[in-house]
Structure 1
Amino acid sequence: MAWIYLSLAIVFEIIFALGASASHGFTKLKVSVITVVGVVGGIYFISLALKTLDVGVGYPIWTGVGAVGTVIFGALIFKEKITPAKVVCFVAIIGGVVGLKSLAGA
């Protein structure tokens, strides 16, 4: 169940990050509310995930996958550029996430 909670935390993290950008400094009410829901949901679900996952595994996966997802959706929604350097960084983050997940049971 912890991995489901972690997955939900990642989704809410991405919603938070994209909403923070789209709210233009919390000047757009509807997007600001979505942003707050994203941050509260993210913290809620990561706290549930960390009841059974080691913080040294769960937190880096949450932030790493959330960062990659934010960049991907930022490119799709806001037309932000994905450069070759960003792709290299994604690969490094994903490699780290895979490594941490494989060590989670160790």
Structure 2
Amino acid sequence: MTAQEYLKTINSYPVPALALQGIALVRGIDLTKTLDIDTLKSKPMRLAIADVKKWISGAPDVVEGGVNISFSNSEREILRMEADSVYYEIGGADDTISMTTFGNKGEDL
């Protein structure tokens, strides 16, 4: 299994390939490399897994193949907490890719 295949299995949410490529670039991971146990346990891979969880925690609900994929607020919070615990344990939160937030512009900009 490649790093890309593994990162896609973290959750059933369809994370776009470009998001995975960006995370891999920041973390120095070759997505095409076949995983071994050392790579899977490495700091860059653990941080990439945390990045994917953090990305998913802010992703919109989607319908793919007629199946609705959505998360409750508590599920999103659990994903964020899991990612944050890795960042706290081994560092690396400062170089995460921030996800663009969409919404209405208010008067306080």
TM range (shorter): 0.3 to 0.5
The structure with more helix, counted as a fraction of residues: 1
Higher relative contact order (CA 8 A, sep 6+): 1
The structure with more strand, counted as a fraction of residues: 2
